[in-house]
């Protein structure tokens, strides 16, 4: 595992940054390619959406980390802006990025649900690459195990504890995210209504993430969901996953009703 891929003077390329960057470029390319031929989409739509997702993702991921670790920032609020020192939570980034994309698409009067359907499988593939960056950095590490595929981190710069055989939860996440991307892409060709693919993402991904969380180490970085009320019962990721799944359930009810009310054989408008 190599947390830092290379250094050139003051420039440093981290494994995590490389994974996220490569995933983002892949997502923008795939969504743009899949949507070719749609006259209702601007040519550069998904590249613009990618930039919006980056800004919303970074801000949201940082804010969620600050929320989970609020006592650490009370006496030093300026540390909130020190993102270069690490400290982000994926689900926070996902939520704010999604909000930013919906607002942008509505502002431009573009078919939001149709656009998000293309973005969903691309995002899953991107997440598969990003989790490889996590593996290189040693973050999001698993709990101890004696399974034959356990991994042991040796680099002192890794976030994970060294010299301990751990579940490679980052690789598990990469595999299930890639498989989810392939499944969603297959469904994209046969969807019944606009919004079906993005709803599938927010139905399936929270389940997969919650299962993987069970194998995670109890590192303090992950935080706990509503700890004052629930104690250390649900991790932050599991708690937000529950909320995402409930939101997806509401979305299914609304969009299925809209699809049934639309003209037979015609996808519901977004």
Helix, strand, or coil (residue 212): helix
Q: Are 215 and 143 in contact (CB under 8 A)?
A: yes
- Asked whether residue 85 carries a pLDDT value surpassing 60, the answer given is no
- Indicate the average pLDDT of the chain: 85
- Asked whether residue 97 carries a pLDDT value surpassing 60, the answer given is yes
The closest alpha carbon to 50, from 110, 143, 119, belongs to 119
- Asked whether residue 1 carries a pLDDT value surpassing 70, the answer given is no
pLDDT at 87 (0 to 100): 65
Structural tokens at position 116: 């998000």
Match 């297959």 to its residue by tokens: 186
pLDDT at 263 (0 to 100): 58
> Is 142 within the bounds of a domain?
yes
- Higher pLDDT: 122 or 87? It is 122
E strands present in the chain: 4-8, 11-14, 151-152, 165-166
- Asked whether residue 8 carries a pLDDT value surpassing 80, the answer given is no
- Asked whether residue 70 carries a pLDDT value surpassing 80, the answer given is no
Average pLDDT over residues 220-247: 73
> Is 73 within the bounds of a domain?
yes
pLDDT at 262 (0 to 100): 75
Q: Give 269's pLDDT tier (boundaries 50, 70, 90).
A: very low
pLDDT at 108 (0 to 100): 94
Structural tokens at position 104: 């942008």
Q: How many domains does the chain have?
A: 1
Which of the 8 DSSP states describes residue 153? B
Average pLDDT over residues 105-111: 95
> Is 267 within the bounds of a domain?
no
Instruction: Supply φ then ψ for residue 152, to 5 degrees.
Output: -125, 120
Average pLDDT over residues 93-109: 92
Widest Cα–Cα separation across the chain: 62
> Is 210 within the bounds of a domain?
yes
Q: Give 230's pLDDT tier (boundaries 50, 70, 90).
A: low
Range of the domain at 62: 4-261
> Is 230 within the bounds of a domain?
yes
Secondary structure tally for the chain: helices H, strands E? 9, 4
Task: Report the alpha-carbon distance of residue 243 to residue 250 in Å, rounded.
Answer: 11
- Asked whether residue 107 carries a pLDDT value surpassing 70, the answer given is yes
In angstroms, the first-to-last Cα distance of the chain is 44
Structural tokens at position 234: 């649900």
pLDDT at 267 (0 to 100): 47
Q: Are 10 and 110 in contact (CB under 8 A)?
A: no
> Is 269 within the bounds of a domain?
no
- Asked whether residue 206 carries a pLDDT value surpassing 80, the answer given is yes
84: enclosing H helix or E strand: none
Task: Report the alpha-carbon distance of residue 110 to residue 115 in Å, rounded.
Answer: 8
Residues 18-65 have pLDDT tens digits of: 888 899 999 999 999 999 989 899 999 999 999 999 999 888 888 877
- Higher pLDDT: 239 or 194? It is 194
Under the phi-then-psi rule, with left for phi > 0, alpha for psi from -120 to 50, and beta for the rest, what region is 144?
Answer: beta
Counting Cα atoms < 13 Å in the Cβ hemisphere of 185 gives: 17
> Is 29 within the bounds of a domain?
yes
Residues 120-176 have pLDDT tens digits of: 999 999 999 999 988 988 888 899 999 999 999 888 777 888 889 999 999 999 999
């Amino acid at each position: 595992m190599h947390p830092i891929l290379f250094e050139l003077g003051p420039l440093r390329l981290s494994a995590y940054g490389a994974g996220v960057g490569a995933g983002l470029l892949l997502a923008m390319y795939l969504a743009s390619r899949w949507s070719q031929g749609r006259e209702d989409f601007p040519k550069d739509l998904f590249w613009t959406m990618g930039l919006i997702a980056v800004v919303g993702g970074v801000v949201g991921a940082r804010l969620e980390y600050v929320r989970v670790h609020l006592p650490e920032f009370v006496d030093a609020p300026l540390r909130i802006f020190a993102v270069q020192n690490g400290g982000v939570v994926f689900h926070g980034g996902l939520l704010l990025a999604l909000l930013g994309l919906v607002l942008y698409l509505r502002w431009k009067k573009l078919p939001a649900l149709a656009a998000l359907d293309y973005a969903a499988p691309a995002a899953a593939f991107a997440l598969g690459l990003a989790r490889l960056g996590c593996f290189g950095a040693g973050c999001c590490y698993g709990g101890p195990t004696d399974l034959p595929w356990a991994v042991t981190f040796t680099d002192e710069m890794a976030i994970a504890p060294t010299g301990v055989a751990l579940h490679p939860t980052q690789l598990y996440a990469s595999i299930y995210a890639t498989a989810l991307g392939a499944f969603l892409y297959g469904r994209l060709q046969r969807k019944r209504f606009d919004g079906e693919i993005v709803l599938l993402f927010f139905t399936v991904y929270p389940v997969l993430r919650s299962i993987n969380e069970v194998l995670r180490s109890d590192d303090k970085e992950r935080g706990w969901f509503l700890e004052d009320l629930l104690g250390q019962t649900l991790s932050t990721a599991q708690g937000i996953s529950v909320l995402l799944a409930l939101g997806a359930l509401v979305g299914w009810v609304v969009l299925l009703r809209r699809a049934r009310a639309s003209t037979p054989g015609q996808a519901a408008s977004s």
